[in-house]
Amino acid sequence: MGNAQLDITFLSLDQDELADVTMTTFPDSDPVYLSGWISTLTRDRAIEVGISISQDQISSFSLTESGTSISVNGPDGDLLSDFNGNVMSDPISEYELFSAIGGRYEIHSGAFTDPNGVAYDFTASTDPVDKVIIVISILVLGCLLAIGLQALIDDCKNNQQQAIKACADAGGLPSLKAEVEFAPAQDANGKWRMGCRHVCAVECRN
């Protein structure tokens, strides 16, 4: 597939939340990796994120499009459920795709509704990549924001207290980062549910 750019912006004015990530690997790398930030709109609270999506997941999950809605099918072919067990019949709505500069670039836009019913607007610019990579990245961002920005920050602070202190004692500026994996799982009935898991790290900046 070669190199391709992918930038995704994810926004909820009601929740005062913004996510901005960029693919930093080749789209056929394993895993595909995106890096960026989740923050409030004023950036008074923020956490760096890195998102990993394996090629097995890219090939195992598929999309169903109906009008301006997109749903995600798990490896069993059934619609993916959210982590509350509710089928995600149309997590992406108002979807539109535009071509730009003679088809060399694509602009994807729409709305994503998380498992708590919170709606986010998104735009993704690419030149181009497989649509399933874009949709899975949006699911991961939705999963993280359903956990909550402050909860992510607090979790990383609690888990990295020693590293934060060591960085500060050395005169550095500790920066929190959540390394995130797309992590769907099967429930007791064998149905696939959306999920993500993260590991916290601290980067000490001079």
Between the CA atoms of 172, 173, 174 and 177, what dihedral angle is there, to the nearest 10 degrees? -130
Residues in the chain: 206
Q: Specify the number of domains making up the chain.
A: 1
3-state secondary structure of 33: strand
In this structure, is residue 152 part of a structural domain? yes
Place of tokens 């149309």: 90
Q: How many CB atoms lie within 10 A of CB 23?
A: 26
Q: What is the DSSP letter of 81?
A: B
pLDDT in tens, 2-32: 457 899 999 988 889 999 999 999 999 999 9
In this structure, is residue 76 part of a structural domain? yes
pLDDT in tens, 155-180: 999 999 999 999 999 999 999 999 99
In this structure, is residue 62 part of a structural domain? yes
Structural domain boundaries enclosing 86: 6-205
pLDDT in tens, 81-92: 988 888 998 899
In this structure, is residue 1 part of a structural domain? no
pLDDT in tens, 83-142: 888 899 889 999 999 998 888 889 999 999 888 888 999 999 998 899 999 999 999 999
In this structure, is residue 118 part of a structural domain? yes
CB burial of 115-149 (b: ≥16 within 10 Å; e: otherwise) equals: beeeebebebbbebbbbbbbbbbbbbbbbbbbbeb
Give this prediction's pTM.
0.91
